[in-house]
Amino acid sequence: MTPTPHPRPAPPAPRRPLVGAVPGRLPYGTVPFGSAPFSDAPTAAGRAPLTPPGGSPTHGEKVQVTEVIPPPRRPAHARPPAHDRPPGHHGAPTTAAQTPKLGRRALRREQQATLDAPRRRYSPVARLLFLTMDVLYGRRRTLAKFQVLEIVARIPYQIWENAAYRLLTRRHRDAGLAHRVHARLVENREQQDNEQWHLLITAELVAASGRRHSWLRFRALPTLLAVTYYHLAWLLFVLNPRWSYRLNADFEDHAEHEYAQFVAEHPEFETLPHRSAYARTYGAYDTVADLLRQIGHDERMHKQESEHYLREGRLR
């Protein structure tokens, strides 16, 4: 008697890719089944082990493991306290570097809040820095002067990030400290990225103005300023991190007020459309006035983060 052949099961339907999955990224390579028993019983961790679609695997079959990468989240401590956040910004979209992206009405409101708020009591080092900028580039606020400021603005975050990496190398066995250092690293990278976008955007605005600027004053001198500021900020951080945090809080407070006053001095920006090659990444704004208000608000966020570091002190 001829045995009746059993029909082969139909191959499983292709699954839709998961949102956030990275196809082809194999954290453990391809996994040969049969080397260890598989079942649908929960494991000690409370999750069912891997079983391929269509039933139990046979020896020699392979499955491609797809790692699901969650979207990056900013550490909770990186956000300013609730009473310091702008009204209605909870859950709002963010810019390329995770700073709150505000709408037109909110931007106008926050600009006015900046204009009404007193400035910080600047340290002698900060006052010397601002005086140097005024001597070299004049007291008048211009886009070219903001471009120079943004060249310098990234430097403290680079120093803090490098110092955090060195600390992580020495103290990586301390899990609690390692988590805190990693959170600070993520935050410092976001801050650097945000200041980098400010530099690119101000450079774009300067180029669009069509004005030619001196190579010595706007290329050579900014490089010299950046090198000098790097060594100053590094020395302050080595001597006492709080001194470096205070200097940066002063710098960001100064930038926040300067941007707010610059927009107030130029009402023509309210009707000047903004078209940027960086709009898809940093954010799109209808007018140059709203763009500069957003940059000023970013500076406030950085100031509050530096004030948080100032209160927290050295990572331990």
Instruction: Give the 3-state secondary structure percentages of the chain, helix then strand then coil, rounded to 5.
Output: 55, 5, 40
237 versus 24: the higher-pLDDT residue is: 237
Identify the CATH number of the domain defined by range 93-312. 1.20.1260.140
- Amino acid identity of residue 295, one-letter, is I
Q: Which residues contact 130 (CB under 8 A, 6 or more apart)?
A: 122, 254
- Amino acid identity of residue 130, one-letter, is F
- pLDDT band of 107, cuts 50, 70, 90: very high
Give the per-residue pLDDT at 5: 58
The pair of three-digit structure tokens given for residue 278, joined into one six-digit string: 């960086």
d(CA 298, CA 252): 9
* pLDDT above 80: residue 58: no
Quick: pLDDT tens for 253-274.
999 999 999 999 999 999 999 9
d(CA 144, CA 275): 18
Taking all residues of the chain, what is their mean pLDDT, rounded to a whole number? 78
- pLDDT band of 82, cuts 50, 70, 90: very low
d(CA 25, CA 65): 7
Taking the CB of residue 124, how many other CB atoms lie within 10 A of it? 7
In the Cβ-directed half-sphere of 207, how many Cα atoms lie within 13 Å?
A: 9
3-state secondary structure the chain: CCCCCCCCCCCCCCCCCCCCECCCCCCCCEEECCCCCCCCCCCCCCCCCCCCCCCCCCCCCEEECCCECCCCCCCHHHCCCHHHCCCCCCCCCECCCCCECCCHHHHHHHHHHHHHCCCCCCCHHHHHHHHHHHHHHCCCCCHHHHHHHHHHHCHHHHHHHHHHHHHHHHHCCCHHHHHHHHHHHHHHHHHHHHHHHHHHHHHHHHHHHCCCCCHHHHHHHHHHHHHHHHHHHHHHHHHCHHHHHHHHHHHHHHHHHHHHHHHHHCHHHHHCECCCCCHHHHCCCCEHHHHHHHHHHHHHHHHHHHHHHHHHCCCC
* pLDDT above 70: residue 190: yes
* pLDDT above 90: residue 52: no
Greatest alpha-carbon pair distance for the chain in Å reads 104
Q: Residue 261, exposed/middle/buried by CB under 10 A (0-12, 13-18, 19+)? A: middle
Quick: pLDDT tens for 275-288.
999 998 898 999 99
- The count of residues in the chain is 316
All structural domains of the chain with their residue ranges: 93-312
Q: Which of 134-143, 210-219, 242-251 has the lowest mean pLDDT?
A: 210-219
9 versus 314: the higher-pLDDT residue is: 314
Mean pLDDT of 64-84: 42
Mean pLDDT of 89-115: 76
Assign 272 to helix, strand or coil.
coil
d(CA 177, CA 316): 6
Taking the CB of residue 228, how many other CB atoms lie within 10 A of it? 14
Give the per-residue pLDDT at 210: 83
Asked if 196 and 152 touch (Cβ cutoff 8 Å), the reply is no
Q: Which of 49-53, 107-111, 189-193 has the lowest mean pLDDT?
A: 49-53
d(CA 267, CA 263): 7
11 versus 198: the higher-pLDDT residue is: 198
Asked if 294 and 95 touch (Cβ cutoff 8 Å), the reply is yes
Residue the block writes with tokens 């020395």? 235
The pair of three-digit structure tokens given for residue 243, joined into one six-digit string: 């001194």
